[in-house]
Amino acid sequence: MFDTKNDIPAATRKSSIELLNARLADAIDLGTQVKHAHWNVKGPSFIALHELFDQIAETIEDQIDTIAERVTALGGTARGTLTAVSRATSLKPYPEDISDGMAHVEALSAVVADFGRKVRGAIDESARLGDADTSDLFTGVSRETDKNLWLLEAHLTR
């Protein structure tokens, strides 16, 4: 860890950095999965889904930046390279052989829900560590993730 005048105890900062980097890897992976769907979606709802996926990707990009900056604010190194992310992500690989819009919505709904579950776990874990700011950060990410899931699942209602 880098030196900082941040008064959060070093052990707490170290644990928070590890937790943040774990969710950072997932967020970067999620962002690439959403962009994959954005680039490859086909079908009668193409433009609506293409734009929705891009909107969700932009939200995730902001989350990635927020998580990474918190890591560095605590004195850590944000682990955001492709190599680090591929080694650390806990998300399932995205199916690369689909193009149908609803198949992408189904696949993205599953991965966004999984990410949301893991972020909610991070809220509790960072609170347990005594890092209220990191817990608050994860609460914001969770709220946005739930909204993204809602936007996706709205397309699945018939």
DSSP-derived secondary structure for 17-58: HHHHHHHHHHHHHHHHHHHHHHHH-BSTTHHHHHHHHHHHHH
Please, which pLDDT band fits residue 61 given cuts at 50, 70 and 90?
very high
| The residue to which tokens 């190599």 are assigned | 83
- What pLDDT, on the 0 to 100 scale, is given for residue 147? 98
d(CA 142, CA 120): 6
- What pLDDT, on the 0 to 100 scale, is given for residue 80? 96
**What pTM, to 2 d.p., does this model score?**
0.96
Ordered by where they begin, the domains of the chain are 10-153 (1.20.1260.10)
Q: Is 36 a residue whose pLDDT tops 70?
A: yes
Please, which pLDDT band fits residue 3 given cuts at 50, 70 and 90?
confident
- What pLDDT, on the 0 to 100 scale, is given for residue 118? 98
DSSP-derived secondary structure for the chain: -------S-HHHHHHHHHHHHHHHHHHHHHHHHHHHHHHH-BSTTHHHHHHHHHHHHHHHHHHHHHHHHHHHHTT-----SHHHHHHH--SPPPPTT--BHHHHHHHHHHHHHHHHHHHHHHHHHHHHHT-HHHHHHHHHHHHHHHHHHHHHHTTT--
Residues 63-110: pLDDT tens digits? 999 999 999 999 999 999 999 999 999 999 999 999 999 999 999 999
- What pLDDT, on the 0 to 100 scale, is given for residue 157? 80
Q: Is 158 a residue whose pLDDT tops 70?
A: no
d(CA 104, CA 106): 5
d(CA 112, CA 103): 14
The token pair at 25 is: 């890897």
Residues 121-152: pLDDT tens digits? 999 999 999 999 999 999 999 999 999 999 99
- What pLDDT, on the 0 to 100 scale, is given for residue 1? 84
- What pLDDT, on the 0 to 100 scale, is given for residue 9? 94
